[in-house]
């Protein structure tokens, strides 16, 4: 899937449509991304096809990006996010004749992404960077952003979606997932805890990235420094634990989320500590006493939620996440459940913390 797939985009861009060199970047589970190099020597750019079944209103996603970018630039912060590029006529989206929807960003050349961090400094730097992003968004009024996916990180909603799907699964899949389904149901206490914490209004709403995994961090190629986060499609008001939890999920784990062998998966204690410290540092004096008190629920909530989401998708016949082989969502769910168990043990042993010990 390369130049031919994107051809209509090049027809509307200046120059010879056949002169664009296209490289597929298979890094997301939702959108498709390409690095495009124009033959005339102008800078490469990132071309993305937005997944319309996940983002049925891409104009809102684009508008959010523009508002966030404008706010950060005006705030005086030195924080930067990639530059959105425009199609002729000043449009930030292009829809081709098949109904595929495209957008462009400047391509950051000296960057790299990691599957797992290779040291705790990387993990701390990435965590601090997402918290600094939220801090840089301070003052942006929530009404200025569209809620692109309602209930996106609502654990209670994700649990309901799971139970509904589990009661009417794709035949033959529920048997294989029986044990995992039971393990997930046994942890329903996390849903209750989530409801107690969020309904009590004890935590401040902030602008949260909502996909703060390591794959969405650009590191410098030549040193362990973060350039910026990427993939802002799900930026919406939310709670700190969403980003801190995804950071723990993806960076305090010995393996990536596509690892098939659960025997290799475990929490890395030093990384966990580096991430929580880095995130706290990045929020600076914005962090509240309640956020500090609930710090350790972050990883539990998000890893549990991701287990539910992969398992739900598996039971439903894979309508949501892009897969490379038939049982991949099962393997991903098992990967996350294994990580969750390892985190539960670690939190209990290190901080005497269980989800049950707080109200």
Binding to ligand GN1 (CB under 6 A): which residues in 133-162?
Answer: none
Minimal distance, residue 38 CB to ligand GN1, in Å: 26
Query: Does residue 328 bind ligand GN1 (CB under 6 A)?
Result: no
Buried residues in 179-212 as b, exposed as e (16+ CB within 10 A): ebbeebeebeebbebbeebbeeeebeebbbbbbb
Query: Does residue 28 bind ligand GN1 (CB under 6 A)?
Result: yes
Extract the tokens encoding 204: 């401040």
Q: Are the CB atoms for 339 and 249 separated by under 8 Å? A: yes
Beta carbons within 8 Å of 41's beta carbon, 6+ residues apart: none
Query: Does residue 29 bind ligand GN1 (CB under 6 A)?
Result: yes
| Whole-angstrom distance, CA of residue 90 vs CA of residue 80 | 22
Query: Maximum Cα–Cα distance for the chain, whole Å?
Result: 64
Minimal distance, residue 257 CB to ligand GN1, in Å: 5
Query: Does residue 30 bind ligand GN1 (CB under 6 A)?
Result: yes
Among 165, 242, 280, 306, binds ligand GN1 (CB under 6 A): 306
Tell me which H or E stretch contains 99: none
Closer of 36 and 230 to ligand GN1 (Cβ): 230
Extract the tokens encoding 127: 């965590």
Query: Does residue 231 bind Mg ion (CB under 5 A)?
Result: yes
- Counting residues that bind ligand GN1 (by CB under 6 A) gives 12
Q: Are the CB atoms for 218 and 230 separated by under 8 Å? A: yes
Minimal distance, residue 29 CB to ligand GN1, in Å: 4
Q: Are the CB atoms for 307 and 333 separated by under 8 Å? A: yes
Query: Does residue 120 bind ligand GN1 (CB under 6 A)?
Result: no
Beta carbons within 8 Å of 295's beta carbon, 6+ residues apart: 244, 276, 280
Minimal distance, residue 213 CB to ligand GN1, in Å: 6
Query: Does residue 54 bind ligand GN1 (CB under 6 A)?
Result: yes
Closer of 13 and 145 to Mg ion (Cβ): 145
The residues binding ligand GN1 (CB under 6 A) are 28-30, 54, 211, 213, 215-216, 231, 234, 257, 306
The residues binding Mg ion (CB under 5 A) are 211, 231
């Amino acid at each position: 899937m390369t130049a031919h797939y994107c051809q209509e985009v090049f027809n509307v861009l200046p120059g010879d449509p056949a002169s664009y060199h296209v490289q597929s970047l298979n890094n997301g589970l939702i959108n498709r991304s390409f690095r495009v190099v124009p033959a005339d020597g102008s800078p490469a750019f990132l071309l993305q096809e937005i997944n319309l079944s996940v983002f049925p209103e891409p104009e809102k996603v684009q508008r959010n990006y523009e508002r966030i970018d404008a706010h950060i630039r005006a705030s005086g912060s030195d924080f930067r996010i990639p530059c959105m590029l425009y199609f002729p006529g000043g449009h930030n989206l292009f829809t081709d004749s098949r109904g595929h929807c495209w957008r462009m960003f400047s391509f950051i050349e000296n960057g790299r992404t990691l599957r797992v961090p290779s040291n705790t400094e990387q993990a701390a730097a990435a965590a601090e960077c997402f918290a600094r992003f939220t801090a840089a968004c301070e003052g942006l009024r929530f009404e200025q952003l569209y809620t692109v996916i309602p209930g996106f990180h609502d654990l209670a909603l994700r649990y309901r979606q799971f139970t509904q799907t589990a009661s009417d699964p794709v035949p033959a899949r529920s048997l294989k997932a029986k044990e995992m389904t039971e393990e997930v149901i046994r942890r329903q206490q996390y849903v209750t805890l989530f409801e107690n914490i969020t309904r009590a209004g004890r935590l401040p709403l902030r602008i949260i990235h909502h996909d703060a995994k390591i794959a969405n961090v650009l590191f410098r190629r030549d040193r362990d420094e973060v350039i910026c986060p990427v993939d802002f499609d799900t930026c919406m008001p939310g709670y700190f634990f969403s980003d801190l939890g995804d950071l723990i999920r993806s960076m305090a784990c010995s393996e990536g989320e596509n690892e098939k062998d659960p025997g290799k998966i475990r929490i890395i204690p030093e990384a966990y500590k580096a991430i929580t410290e880095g995130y706290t540092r990045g929020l600076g004096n914005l962090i509240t006493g309640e956020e500090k008190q609930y710090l350790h629920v972050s990883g539990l909530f998000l890893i549990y939620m991701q287990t539910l989401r992969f398992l739900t998708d598996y039971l439903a016949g894979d309508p949501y996440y892009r897969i490379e082989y038939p049982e991949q969502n099962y393997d991903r769910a098992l990967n996350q459940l294994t990580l969750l168990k390892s985190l539960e043990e670690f939190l209990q042993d290190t901080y005497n913390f269980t989800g049950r010990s707080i109200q």
